[in-house]
Chain A
């Protein structure tokens, strides 16, 4: 991939991330036997938010959030420039911490509860991501995405990694059943609650970037077989949407338990699988 192409991919990430999100919404509506919004609905929402009055609760709250968006975007750039997987994970962690701090910096109970829950869910999914990155390293011998994408396909060894990542996807994207940190019906969106107007826009666009972040993890599992990678992403996209539609939200402690038992457990199984069966 040329540098320009990577740059374009990264720069327009919020755009096609939005299409991704729009498809997600339509898909969900179809599963609920509804017509659903147009595919371009996320852009309508974003453009609408531009024309709303700008208001804030306090300045730091907004600044932390802006930097959350910027760091997340930087992480997405790093993905497209074929950066190191571990740096990407930790960069994402940094971005998430900015977001959490933003939630804490405002005097609102729902925002604070959202931050608390988000922090716990980070504790739940961060180890899984790292363990899976190690699995990827064990198979391809490198953390560099550009090198992984050039390596021959070895998906057989990464089956359990894939399954384990399937637990991470809904947690990062705050989808049911692992959406306790957003929990619209309990804490009114958690950290998002205090943003409005153009600033909510960034939170909204960050959702698209988060989607790109997690799905790119799944994509690289297929290494140089891009078609298979796309298939994996589409498959997990459907699977996650299906699960999202057919489960209730579980509590944050059940989330921790479930992620550690199944997600983390599968990560460990994956390491054993790779080391004992595949090498």
Chain B
């Protein structure tokens, strides 16, 4: 009497932040087939970038592709357009940009961890992580003036310099956060119920990570050394103490640990940057209109982000193409869902840290 049940997850569901629809065909609660629909958030940003906005504005528009990795989108666009315009930035600008990118990564990872905990029914952990996350949010707010959409990066440099008070706040908060992350690692590794909920659940093997084009923490948790920060030298990551973090099994547990360790690494990088900051200009003057094309790759919190820009010498760009990490992770996600329990599905989904507004744009 194999009987199939279909369980919908979305488009509105408490475990989802964004509208996305999964339709699980289940036997008992074992998922046998997944039907997915990710296009709820499509707004037409790529089109608008070439028709509605001038190239100087596009940086702020693409930030609204996704609120979580907003800075990465702006950053990738800016790097691309700077390449076309042939602008050379100084060390200080690069460092400040990395600082913001890494702060963004910390808060995004923490949010993902909190969401995973919440979706696996661990309210206490959710509250704890969200409480700790406020430390990073404070630094971001102090530096950029906004908590989420900071619009910190602009073509030719950054919009704001970092003040001494900010620096002091950042140092204390990061040191505090570092301790809290250590604590979190302990909590995630030693809890009986989280072990049941995370270990060997939603595992993506090393081979599958390649087959399904896994990116970011997802791939690194499976042991695949895929990280744009290590491959590309467009930003001086090596100088600030970047270290590749790899997991083994690729299950939720490993993904959580990889994220936590990356947070530690990011904290280290931020501290290095803050202690090594030099005086200097934060904005490079530039002239002319973009003409030509460029490709940019950048590591967003979720994995590689890819920008293709094509400009024809006018104020309007000819083509903006954005490829986001979640988009390429969906086949892998579907594969993992098959054979796991519906009870685990929200946690698996959260541990993928999907970003549907990135995907649908």
CB atoms of A and B under 8 A apart anywhere in the complex? yes
A interface, CB within 8 angstroms of B = 28, 31-34, 109, 113, 176-177, 179-180, 183-186, 188, 244-252, 254
Segment from B34-42, B124-132, B138-146 that makes contact with A: B124-132
**How far is A31 from B192 in the complex, measured between Cα atoms in Å?**
19
Q: List 13 A-B contacts (CB under 8 A).
A: A31-B124, A33-B128, A179-B121, A185-B118, A186-B346, A188-B14, A248-B125, A248-B191, A249-B122, A249-B193, A249-B197, A249-B343, A251-B29
Q: List residues 113-165 of chain B with CB under 8 A from any CB of chain A.
A: 117-125, 127-128, 131
Knowing that A31-B124, A184-B121, A248-B197 touch, tell me 19 more A-B residue pairs with CB under 8 angstroms: A32-B128, A33-B127, A34-B127, A109-B5, A176-B121, A185-B14, A185-B15, A186-B15, A245-B123, A246-B125, A247-B194, A248-B117, A248-B198, A249-B121, A249-B193, A250-B193, A251-B196, A251-B344, A252-B29
Question: Given the complex, which residues of B lie within 8 Å of A32, measured CB to CB?
Answer: 123-124, 127-128, 131
User: Given the interface contacts A180-B343, A246-B191, does A109 sit within 8 Å of B121 by beta carbon?
Assistant: no
Chain B contact-residue range equals 20 to 34
> SS class of chain A's interface: helix, strand, loop or mixed?
loop
Question: Given the complex, which residues of B lie within 8 Å of A248, measured CB to CB?
Answer: 117, 120-122, 125, 191, 193-194, 196-198
Give, as a whole number of angstroms, the nearest-CB distance from A221 to chain B.
Answer: 26
Question: Given the complex, which residues of A lie within 8 Å of B346, measured CB to CB?
Answer: 185-186
Question: Given the complex, which residues of B lie within 8 Å of A109, measured CB to CB?
Answer: 5-8
Give, as a whole number of angstroms, the nearest-CB distance from A212 to chain B.
Answer: 24
**How far is A176 from B193 in the complex, measured between Cα atoms in Å?**
10
CB 8 Å contact bits of B2-17 with A (1 = contact, 0 = none):
0001111000011100
Whether, in the assembled complex, B345 has its beta carbon less than 8 Å from a beta carbon of chain A, the answer is: yes
User: Given the interface contacts A113-B7, A185-B118, does A246 sit within 8 Å of B124 by beta carbon?
Assistant: yes
Give, as a whole number of angstroms, the nearest-CB distance from B337 to chain A.
Answer: 14
**How far is A248 from B125 in the complex, measured between Cα atoms in Å?**
9
**How far is A186 from B177 in the complex, measured between Cα atoms in Å?**
31
Whether, in the assembled complex, B341 has its beta carbon less than 8 Å from a beta carbon of chain A, the answer is: yes
Give, as a whole number of angstroms, the nearest-CB distance from B69 to chain A.
Answer: 24
Give, as a whole number of angstroms, the nearest-CB distance from A187 to chain B.
Answer: 8
Please determine whether A33 and B131 come into contact, CB atoms closer than 8 angstroms: yes
**How far is A132 from B14 in the complex, measured between Cα atoms in Å?**
37
Whether, in the assembled complex, B342 has its beta carbon less than 8 Å from a beta carbon of chain A, the answer is: yes
Give, as a whole number of angstroms, the nearest-CB distance from B192 to chain A.
Answer: 7
Question: Given the complex, which residues of B lie within 8 Å of A185, measured CB to CB?
Answer: 14-15, 118-121, 346
Question: Given the complex, which residues of B lie within 8 Å of A180, measured CB to CB?
Answer: 343
**How far is A63 from B292 in the complex, measured between Cα atoms in Å?**
71
Give, as a whole number of angstroms, the nearest-CB distance from B47 to chain A.
Answer: 36
**How far is A254 from B201 in the complex, measured between Cα atoms in Å?**
14
**How far is A254 from B197 in the complex, measured between Cα atoms in Å?**
10
**How far is A245 from B121 in the complex, measured between Cα atoms in Å?**
10
Give, as a whole number of angstroms, the nearest-CB distance from A185 to chain B.
Answer: 4
Question: Given the complex, which residues of A lie within 8 Å of B8, measured CB to CB?
Answer: 109
What residue in chain A is nearest B130 (Cβ atoms)?
A32
Please determine whether B343 and A183 come into contact, CB atoms closer than 8 angstroms: yes
Please determine whether A247 and B191 come into contact, CB atoms closer than 8 angstroms: yes
What residue in chain A is nearest B9 (Cβ atoms)?
A186
Central interface residue in B7, B123, B198, by most chain A CB within 10 Å: B123
User: Given the interface contacts A247-B191, A247-B192, does A252 sit within 8 Å of B343 by beta carbon?
Assistant: yes
